Each structure stands twice: as C-alpha cells, then as structure tokens.
Amino acid sequence: MKTGIVLLFLATAVFAGSQSSQAAGKREPKADLSSCVTSVQAAWGLTFKHDIASFMGVSQERMPALFCQRIAEGLHSGRISYSDINNLQLDQPTEIWMVIKGKAKAATQAPAPRNPKFRTCNGTTGTFQIPVSRKCPLSGYANY
C-alpha cells in the first residue's frame, strides 16, 4: 500500500507540473487529462486501482478519468496545493483525500460569540466557557 501512495504522489506531482506549464502558456485552465489517465492506468497495480476505486465509490473503469478530473479541479480551485502533496508524502493530514473522494470542503465552525463576562478555554473535549474571574485550568477540565 505504501508503494501505491508513492505512485499516487508521483501521478499527482506529474499532473501538477503539467497544470503549471499550461498556466504559464496562458491557455484555458481546462486540462488535457489524457496523460494523467494514461499514467494512472499504466503505473498502478490492479489491487491499488481497486482500492482507490472503492475509496472513491466508483467502478474501476471510471476511476482513472474521475481521479484525474478531481485532482485537476482540486488544483484549479486551490483546494490542493504543493504543500498537500508534501504532506501526503510525509503521511500528514491533507485535503487531497477529500478531493479524491469527491466530498465538498468541510465547513469551518464559527467561534462562539464573545461575552465579556466569560472567557473561552480549550479542553480535552472541545472549548468551554468559564467566568472571567477564573483562569482556564491547565488540565482542560472546568471542574477541579
């Protein structure tokens, strides 16, 4: 599976390079996905293709084209950046998996409105508020 991840990284990096060269040529951002699809079909093993198709929720026949399309749209929209590719290589969290899966960008939760009588503390189960007269506990629990 680790080899498959490296191949995924290489395919993404090759595709990202072709995207930047197209942008330099002042062409329409619509990408020619044939080289990406060809590299996915040729470089990936059958098991890895099956795993990615299953992850994406599509058939193995549709997977290469849809994978490349989602990567292209992610790069074009800015959801995927070069730091995501580096994070993928370093086994760190990245938005690239949500893009490949076809999920919309996760909505960020708005912070609670500020109240001058309370302070917001970070705890082990999330944020909580305590009166301003008290300090936030170091343990993350509001009760001692």
Instruction: Give yes or no for residue 144 having a pLDDT over 60.
Output: no
Contacts 24+ apart (CB under 8 A), 70-78: 70/99, 70/100, 70/102, 71/12, 71/15, 71/36, 71/99, 71/100, 72/15, 72/19, 72/31, 72/33, 72/36, 73/99, 74/99, 75/15, 75/16, 75/19, 76/19, 76/29, 76/31
Give the chain's domain count: 2
pTM, to two decimals: 0.57
Are 113 and 90 within one domain?
no
Are 25 and 77 within one domain?
yes
Compute CA distances 31 → 60, 109, 121, 125, 132, whole Å: 22, 34, 47, 44, 55
Q: What is the pLDDT of residues 49-105, one digit of tens each?
A: 899 899 899 998 899 999 888 888 888 888 888 788 777 777 777 788 888 888 877
Residue 7's domain comprises 2-101
Are 79 and 121 within one domain?
no
Are 80 and 40 within one domain?
yes
Are 37 and 59 within one domain?
yes
What local confidence, expressed as pLDDT, does residue 89 receive?
Answer: 77
Q: Are 103 and 79 in contact (CB under 8 A)?
A: no
Are 71 and 141 within one domain?
no
Q: What is the pLDDT of residues 105-117, one digit of tens each?
A: 765 556 656 778 8
* Other C-beta atoms lying within 10 Å of the C-beta of residue 38: 12
Full DSSP string of 40-80: HHHHS-HHHHHHHHHHHTS-TTTHHHHHHHHHHHHHHHTSS
Are 69 and 25 within one domain?
yes
Residue in 56, 55, 104, 99 with CA at minimum distance from that of residue 81: 99
